């Protein structure tokens, strides 16, 4: 299952309190998950909270960006949560800031 994402799309987890906004998205359908479950649009009722799947419990941090290895997708965390982000079964990695050049 997946959805077509576009920059500005706001999503939330059904397994924890995490909320994200899409910064960069590839064309086509993307299976964005949090805690091992598909994410839903903010404001949409998803029913009862689901249990976090094993291996998807690293958590995400507010204000941090997450991306895949190829850099095709970039997600900004707007509300921290106990679950981790993934595209299908492939976890997204936290995107660290690039170091500034030395001013010597």
Q: Render pLDDT for 14-67 as a digit per residue (tens, 0 to 9).
A: 999 999 999 999 988 999 999 999 999 998 877 788 999 998 999 999 999 999
Per-residue model confidence (pLDDT) at position 104: 65
Q: How confident is the model at residue 3 (pLDDT cuts 50, 70, 90)?
A: confident
The H or E element containing residue 76 is: strand 74-79
Under 8 Å between Cβ of 68 and 32: no
Under 8 Å between Cβ of 92 and 70: no
CB atoms within 10 A of CB 95: 16
CB atoms within 10 A of CB 47: 7
pTM: predicted TM-score of the whole model, two decimal places = 0.87
Q: How confident is the model at residue 101 (pLDDT cuts 50, 70, 90)?
A: confident
């Amino acid at each position: 299952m997946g959805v077509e994402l576009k920059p500005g799309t706001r999503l939330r987890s059904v397994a924890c309190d995490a909320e994200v906004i899409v910064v960069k998205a590839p064309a086509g359908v993307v299976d964005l998950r949090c805690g091992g479950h598909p994410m839903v649009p903010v404001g949409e009722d998803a029913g009862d909270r689901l249990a976090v799947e094993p291996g998807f419990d690293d958590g995400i941090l507010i204000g941090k960006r997450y991306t895949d290895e190829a850099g095709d997708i970039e997600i900004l965390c707007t509300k921290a949560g106990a679950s981790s982000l993934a595209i299908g079964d492939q976890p997204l990695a936290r995107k660290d800031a690039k170091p500034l050049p030395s001013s010597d």
